[in-house]
Structure 1
Amino acid sequence: TLQVYLYGGHVTSWKNDHGEELLFVSSKAVFKPPKPIRGGIPICFPQFASHGGLESHGFARNRVWSIESDPPPFPTNSASKAHVDLILKPTEEDLKIWPHSGGDLLLTSRVRNTSTDGKPFSFTFAYHTYFAVSDISEVRVEGLETLDYLDNLQSKERFTEQGDAITFESEIDKIYLSTPTKIAILDHEKKRTFVVRKDGLPDAVVWNPWDKRAKAIADLGDEEYKHMLCVEAAAVEKPITLKPGEEWKGRLELSAVPSSYCSGQLDPQKVLQSS
C-alpha cells in the first residue's frame, strides 16, 4: 500500500504485502507548512541542496500539489497496479524567486517548459528517498563502487570511491556521479534488498546524518539515524536546461526483495544483473 500527501507531492508510506513499512519517516516529522516532511520521498525541485540560489532543496517539497485532472497517458507497459498524477502549479511568490511559469512537475517525473517568453530554464532534481533499515551499521550499498563522488562534508571536493561496497560507520553526504541505472541497498539483519531503478537521473546521493548531526535536526529523533538511509536518484552535477516546448522525464522505481547469501555475505549481483 502507498500513502501520498498533496503537501509536497510527498510519498510518506510504502508497505509490502506483509504490511511491513519500507520507508522511514521521523517520529518528529511535521506534516504541514512551512516545514517539509522529514522522511518518505521528498521531491527536491527546482534545486537540490544548496546547488543554486534558492532555499535548500527548492520549494516543491513545501507546496501543496493538486491531482492532475487531465494527465498525459500513463505508459501502457507499466506493471503498476495503480498510479496517480500530481501537478505543482507555481504561486506568485514562486515566480518571483524562480520566474519560469509552466514548469509542470508530475509524480511521474515530468518537467515541461511551456513558457511563452522564449526563455530556457535550468534546474536540478532529486527524489530524497528515506529507506527504513534495521540498523545502519548492518547495511551496505552496492553499485556505486569505483565511481567519482562529490563530498558535501568536504566542500564538495571530488574523490573516487575505493571500497567494494559502501558501509556506514559515521556521517555520510556524498553525490555519486554517472551512476548505473540500478543500485542495491542490502539490509543484513532483515535479509532484505531494496533495488533502486532510475532513468533520466544520472547521479545518486547517499546520506545519513549519524549521531552528532542527528541531534541538531529538530524534526529527527536523536537515535533515529540508526534506522534510516537516504539513497537519492538525482540530477545534480549537471543542471538540466529546457528550452520552451522541451520536456524532461525522469523515472524512479523502487522494489524490495529477499536477500540471497553467498559465502556468508549478502549477494546483490543477481538483483543488479536481473532485468
Structure 2
Amino acid sequence: MVDRANRPSALNAPSAAAPGPQVDITGSGAGSKVTATLPSGESIEVLLYGATVISWKSNGGKTENLWLSEKAAVDGSKAVRGGIPVVFPVFGPPPKSGHPTSSLPQHGFARSSRWEFLGKSTSEDALDSSSVKLDFGLYTSGISEDAKKAWPLDFGLVYSVTLSKDSLQTVINVRNEGEQSFEFQFLLHTYFKIKDITKTSVKGLLGVEYIDKVLNASSHQESNSAIAITGEVDRVYKSIPQDTTTIVEADSPRFDVVRDNLSDTVVWNPWIEKAKGMGDFSPDDGYKNMICVEVGAVNGWQKLEKGEVFEGGQTIKSLL
C-alpha cells in the first residue's frame, strides 16, 4: 500500500465557530458514494466504484458542469457513462498481443474497480472553508482476480479530488510497489455538460499533431484556432505545448482545462449514429449537450521502475 505520510483525517463534524465543508458517505457496497459540499453551496459526488466523479456543481450549487447519461450505471454493475471515469492502465482497446496490458478490457480496470475512501483534508487555515480534498486509493489487493491475472503487477494508486468554489482538481499518483518495472497509460475521461454542441468549440490546440480515430487513425496537424464540432469527433492530440485548453460556448469561454504533467488530450463526441448505438448513452440526442475533453498520458507508455512514482492531473475552472 502507498505510504502516506500526510494521510487525510477521518470525517469530522465542522466546528460551530467556523462551518466547514460537509462530507458524507451514502449507499452501500459498490453503489456507495462520497458527497462533499462547501458552505457556499458548491458540491461534488464521487462513486467509490471507479472513483468516478458523477457530479460537480459550481455557482453556489446551481450549475451542474458534468454530463451524466440517464442510463448510466451508478450501482457498480458496469463502468459509468459520464462524469469523470479514471482510465488506467491502458487507454482504449489494448494492444492485440505482446504487451502486458493485452489481456485487459478496453480502458483498463480502474474505472470498474471499487476504490477505498482514504478520507478528507481541508485548508490548514481553520478559517478557510473554501476547498476540500477527497482522497481515494486502489491497490493490487483491491482489483478483481481476473484483473490480477491479466495484469499481475504490484501498484498503488491515490486519486485526489479537490473541490474549490470555482474549480475542480483531479490528480492521480501512481506508484510501482513491485520488483519489476511496468508500463501504463492514464486518462481522465471528462464529460462536460454544455447547452448546444453546434455552438461549442475547443481552443488551445492550434498547430498540435493529432491522431484522428474517425479517419482510420491517420495523423494530422490542427489548423483551426477554434475546433467546431460538426460530426463524430475522436481525436488524440499529442505532446501539447501549452497547458490550457478552453471550451467555448456561444463565443464565451465556459471551461478552462489545465493539464499538470500530462502531455495529451482527447476530444470526443459520438454524434448521432454512435450515440444511438451505445446502450448506456441516453437520451439518444444527448450528444448535443456534452463534449469530452480528456487529459492524459496516452501517446505511448509511461514506465515506472521499482519504487518510482508518477503524478499528473488537471484543474478545471468553471468560467460562468
Same fold (TM over 0.5): yes
Question: Which secondary structure state, in structure 2, belongs to the residue aligned with residue 145 of structure 1?
Answer: coil
Q: In the alignment, what sits opposite 1:3?
A: 45
Give the TM-score, by structure 1 length.
0.86
> Cα deviation per residue 1:162-212 (whole Å; 9 max; x = unaligned)?
2221101100000001112111001118x4520001112100000000001
Q: In the alignment, what sits opposite 1:264?
A: none
Distance (whole Å) between structure 1 residues aligned to residue 158 and residue 182 of structure 2: 14
Q: Looking at secondary structure, tell me which structure has more strand per residue.
A: 2
Question: Which secondary structure state, in structure 2, belongs to the residue aligned with residue 213 of structure 1?
Answer: helix
Aligned pairs for 1:34-45 within 5 A:
34-45=77-88
Distance (whole Å) between structure 2 residues aligned to residue 62 and residue 32 of structure 1: 11
Q: In the alignment, what sits opposite 2:6?
A: none
Match of residue 257, structure 2, among 182, 192, 196 = 196
The amino acid that maps onto 1:98 is: W
Distance (whole Å) between structure 2 residues aligned to residue 135 and residue 229 of structure 1: 10
Distance (whole Å) between structure 1 residues aligned to residue 296 and residue 65 of structure 2: 20
Does the 8 Å CA contact 2:246/2:253 hold for their aligned counterparts? no
Match of residue 55, structure 1, among 102, 105, 113 = 105
Q: In the alignment, what sits opposite 1:83?
A: 133
- The answer to whether 1:128 aligns with 2:189 is yes
Q: In the alignment, what sits opposite 1:265?
A: none
Q: In the alignment, what sits opposite 1:31?
A: 74
Call closer, same or farther: CA 1:207–1:97 in 2, change over 3 Å: same
Aligned pairs for 1:152-231 within 5 A:
152-179=213-240, 180-188=242-250, 191-220=252-281, 221-231=283-293
How many Å apart are 1:60 and its aligned residue? 0.5
Unpaired runs of 5+ residues, structure 2, are 1-42, 96-101, 161-170
How many Å apart are 1:7 and its aligned residue? 0.7
Q: In the alignment, what sits opposite 2:177?
A: 114
> Cα deviation per residue 1:242-262 (whole Å; 9 max; x = unaligned)?
00010000021111114xxxx
Match of residue 309, structure 2, among 247, 251, 270 = 247
Unpaired runs of 5+ residues, structure 1, are 259-275
Question: Which secondary structure state, in structure 2, belongs to the residue aligned with residue 15 of structure 1?
Answer: strand
Call closer, same or farther: CA 1:76–1:122 in 2, change over 3 Å: farther
Question: Which secondary structure state, in structure 1, belongs to the residue aligned with residue 272 of structure 2?
Answer: helix
Distance (whole Å) between structure 1 residues aligned to residue 51 and residue 153 of structure 2: 20
How many Å apart are 1:40 and its aligned residue? 0.4
- The answer to whether 1:257 aligns with 2:310 is no
Distance (whole Å) between structure 2 residues aligned to residue 196 and residue 80 of structure 1: 20
Identity of aligned residues (%): 35
Does the 8 Å CA contact 1:95/1:101 hold for their aligned counterparts? no
Q: In the alignment, what sits opposite 2:294?
A: 232
The amino acid that maps onto 1:93 is: D
The amino acid that maps onto 2:315 is: E
Call closer, same or farther: CA 1:76–1:114 in 2, change over 3 Å: farther
Q: In the alignment, what sits opposite 1:94?
A: 147
Distance (whole Å) between structure 2 residues aligned to residue 176 and residue 256 of structure 1: 22
The amino acid that maps onto 2:139 is: K
Distance (whole Å) between structure 1 residues aligned to residue 235 and residue 47 of structure 2: 28
Does the 8 Å CA contact 2:135/2:158 hold for their aligned counterparts? no
> Cα deviation per residue 1:223-242 (whole Å; 9 max; x = unaligned)?
10000000000111121000
Which segment drifts farther, 179-188 or 89-98? Answer: 89-98
Does the 8 Å CA contact 1:104/1:113 hold for their aligned counterparts? no
Cα root mean square deviation, aligned: 2.2
